[in-house]
Amino acid sequence: MVAMAPALYSLIRKMEIIRKVDELRHRVAGAKAEGKSVGLVPTMGALHAGHISLVDRARKENDMVVVSVFVNPTQFNNAEDLATYPRTEEADCAKLEAAGADVAFIPSSIQNLIHASLTSERWRPLWRGPCAPAISMASHRL
């Protein structure tokens, strides 16, 4: 793997948006079949510099970077908090593409149980810090 600046990487390759779990699994399986490493950064969207630092780290350490953007209802005690949580998909995708993510996985809420099973597989944490408690798994290698 050749390290490349995220801004340059995003000029060379357009980020793909995947909404279905089976499509993501197919894409990841294809990368792995080619011997590529795949890094996952799970988020609940409303991305900030801490999230982008995880994407940067995953980009440096992996051939392919997947970022999930999923507002998980199980993370909220209060229905009002869930209803008012910011959904900033367009802005999040722009930030992820600029940071060099290959795939933004943005599942529908109908797929939340499937998404939960996807993120409960074996991942190796890359980083722990202020965001770790909020997103439960900071960054992982697929």
In this prediction the pTM is 0.74
Confidence at residue 141, expressed as pLDDT on a 0 to 100 scale: 41
Query: For 67-97, what is each residue's pLDDT tens digit?
Result: 999 888 888 889 999 999 999 999 999 999 9
* DSSP conformation class of 131: T
Please name which of 142, 43, 29 lies closest in space to residue 99, comparing C-alpha atoms.
43
Q: Do the Cβ atoms of 39 and 64 come closer than 8 Å? A: yes
Q: pLDDT digit string (tens) for 26-64?
A: 999 999 999 999 999 999 999 999 999 999 999 999 999
Choice among 26, 51, 115, 140 that is catalytic:
51
Higher pLDDT among residues 53 and 132, named by residue: 53
For residue 117, pLDDT beyond 80: no
The question of whether 140 is a catalytic residue gets the answer no
